[in-house]
C-alpha cells in the first residue's frame, strides 16, 4: 500500500522544481519574445531564430564547440576506456595509487586545471615552438579532464559485469579477440556510451578551461555567451540557448528509451 505524501513534501518538491526550471523557462520564453528585451512582449515570433542562423559569429562558435566536443570525446573515450579496463582487471603494483590520483582532476577546481594547462602549453611552446593557443590546445585540455570521468564510468561497468559470460566463452574455445569482440565489448558498451555522453556534455558546458586555452578563431559557445553577457544579451543568445536546451532534452529522452533495451540485454 502506497502512503499518500504529506502536503508540505509536495510543496517542497514543487518549490525545488520551480527553482531548477524557472530560469530555463524564462530563457525559452525570451527566445519567442517579439520585443527582444524585457518581459513585456505582446507577440510571439520566430524572428530571432532566423537572425541566429545568419549570425556568422554564433554559427562559427557552434561549429567550434561541436568540433571540440567531438574530438575530445573521441580521444577521452578511447583512452578512458583503456584506463578503466586496466583498473578493473587484475591487481598490479601501484593500482591503488593510480585509482587515488584518478579522482584529482575530478575534484580539482577548473581554474587550477586551466592555469596548469596554460603554463604547460607556454613551457612547451617556449622549448619547441609548438602548442600555440587555439583548437589543438583546447582539445588537449578537454581530453585531459574528461579521461577520469570516462575511466570511472567504464571501470564501474566492468566491475559489475557477470564473469560467468566470459568464463563460458573461454570454455567454448574463444580466443582473446573473440572474447573481447563478442562478449566483453557488447556488455561494456552501455558504460562506454555513458562515459562518452558525459564527456561530450562536459565539453559543451566548460567555460573556464576553454577560456584560458583558447586562441584567435577558437571561440566556443560558452565563451561567446560570456562575452555577450558583458556587452548585453541579445535575443539571438536566447534562441541559441533554447536550441541547446532542446538538444539536451532530446538526448535525454533518447537515452531513456534505450535504457530498458540495455537492461534486457
Annotated domain spans of the chain: 65-232
**Residue 44 forms beta bridges with which residues?**
33
CB neighbours (10 Å) of residue 86? 16
Residue 139 is placed in which grid cell? 582539445
* Best CA proximity match to 117, nearest among 201, 195, 202, 211: 211
**d(C-alpha 35, C-alpha 207), whole Å:** 29
- Greatest alpha-carbon span in the chain: 72
Cα 157 to the center of its chain, rounded Å: 19
Domain 65-232: assigned CATH number: 1.10.3720.10
Please provide residue 33's backbone torsions phi and psi, each rounded to the nearest 5 degrees. -80, 120
Three cell numbers written together for 128: 619547441
- 158 conformational bin, left if phi > 0, alpha if psi -120 to 50, beta if neither: alpha
User: Residue 145, exposed/middle/buried by CB under 10 A (0-12, 13-18, 19+)?
Assistant: buried
Q: What is the DSSP letter of 4?
A: P
Closest of 241, 239, 197 to residue 77, by C-alpha: 197
The reported pTM is 0.80
Provide the 10 A C-beta neighbour count for residue 190. Answer: 18
Q: What is the pLDDT along the chain (265 residues), one digit of tens a residue?
A: 455 567 878 888 888 888 888 888 888 888 887 776 655 556 778 888 888 888 888 889 888 988 998 999 999 999 999 988 888 877 777 778 887 888 888 888 888 888 888 888 888 888 887 778 888 889 998 998 899 999 988 888 888 877 787 778 777 777 778 887 888 888 888 888 888 888 888 888 888 999 988 888 888 888 888 887 777 777 888 888 888 788 777 766 665 565 434 444 4
Question: Which residue in 215, 251, 81 sits closest to 140, CA to CA?
Answer: 215
Q: Are 195 and 81 in contact (CB under 8 A)?
A: yes
Amino acid at each position: 500500500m502506497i502512503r499518500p505524501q504529506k502536503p508540505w513534501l509536495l510543496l517542497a518538491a514543487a518549490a525545488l522544481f520551480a527553482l531548477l526550471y524557472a530560469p530555463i523557462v524564462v530563457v525559452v520564453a525570451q527566445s519567442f519574445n517579439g520585443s527582444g528585451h524585457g518581459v513585456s512582449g505582446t507577440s510571439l515570433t520566430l524572428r530571432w531564430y532566423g537572425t541566429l542562423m545568419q549570425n556568422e559569429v554564433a554559427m562559427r562558435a557552434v561549429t567550434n564547440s561541436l568540433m571540440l566536443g567531438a574530438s575530445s570525446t573521441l580521444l577521452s573515450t578511447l583512452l578512458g576506456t583503456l584506463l578503466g579496463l586496466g583498473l578493473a582487471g587484475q591487481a598490479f603494483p601501484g593500482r591503488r595509487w593510480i585509482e587515488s590520483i584518478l579522482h584529482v582532476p575530478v575534484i580539482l577546481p577548473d581554474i587550477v586545471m586551466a592555469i596548469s594547462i596554460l603554463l604547460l602549453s607556454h613551457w612547451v611552446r617556449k622549448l619547441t615552438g609548438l602548442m600555440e593557443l587555439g583548437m589543438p590546445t583546447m582539445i588537449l585540455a578537454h581530453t585531459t579532464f574528461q579521461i577520469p570521468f570516462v575511466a570511472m564510468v567504464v571501470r564501474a561497468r566492468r566491475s559489475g559485469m557477470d564473469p560467468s559470460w566470459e568464463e563460458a566463452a573461454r570454455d567454448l574455445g574463444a580466443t582473446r579477440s573473440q572474447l573481447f569482440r563478442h562478449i566483453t565489448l557488447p556488455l561494456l558498451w552501455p558504460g562506454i556510451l555513458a562515459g562518452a555522453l558525459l564527456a561530450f556534455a562536459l565539453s559543451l558546458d566548460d567555460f573556464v578551461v576553454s577560456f584560458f586555452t583558447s586562441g584567435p578563431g577558437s571561440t566556443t559557445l560558452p565563451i561567446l555567451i560570456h562575452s555577450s553577457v558583458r556587452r548585453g544579451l541579445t535575443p539571438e543568445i536566447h534562441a541559441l540557448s533554447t536550441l541547446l536546451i532542446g538538444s539536451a532534452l532530446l538526448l535525454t529522452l533518447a537515452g531513456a528509451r534505450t535504457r530498458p533495451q540495455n537492461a534486457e540485454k
